[in-house]
Structure 1
């Protein structure tokens, strides 16, 4: 059985996604920091969850080679 290149590439894509998302949120932190704490909380909660959304198709592609079912 020949090893697939999709898994190492997928791991690099996941790490890149996390890095880009962190830079994006960190660059918005000064603007978000000016908001009241009760407004900051949902923003950071949503930002902490949203990056997970593209992982399902990426993980599916890593396993099967197809983006959709």
Structure 2
């Protein structure tokens, strides 16, 4: 079976948007680090683990959109 591949604008735009969003997210977390740095070390660890994983939640839907054009 031969499938004709037709490139779309969603992948390059999606990659650029993802990189921009992750950069903004990283800057926001870095800006919050003086506040988080005043907390107890165990709270800091939990906060950074949660903040390091939470950005993955919308990623699945975004990657599906990049591939298919539908959200989810």
Tell me the TM-score normalised to structure 2 length. Answer: 0.88
- Say what the alpha-carbon RMSD is for the aligned residues: 0.9
CA distance in structure 1 between the partners assigned to 2:69 and 2:10 by the alignment? 8
1:26 and 2:30 correspond: yes
Residue aligned with 2:56, SS: coil
Instruction: Give the drift of 1:60.
Output: 0.4
The list of structure 1 runs, each at least 4 consecutive aligned residues, that deviate by more than 6 angstroms after superposition, is none
1:56-67 maps to which residues of 2 (within 5 A)? 56-67=60-71
Tell me the TM-score normalised to structure 1 length. Answer: 0.92
Structure 2 stretches lacking a partner, 5+ long: none
Residue aligned with 1:3, SS: coil
Instruction: Identify the structure with the greater helix proportion.
Output: 1
Structure 1 stretches lacking a partner, 5+ long: none
RCO comparison, higher one (Cα < 8 Å, 6+): 1
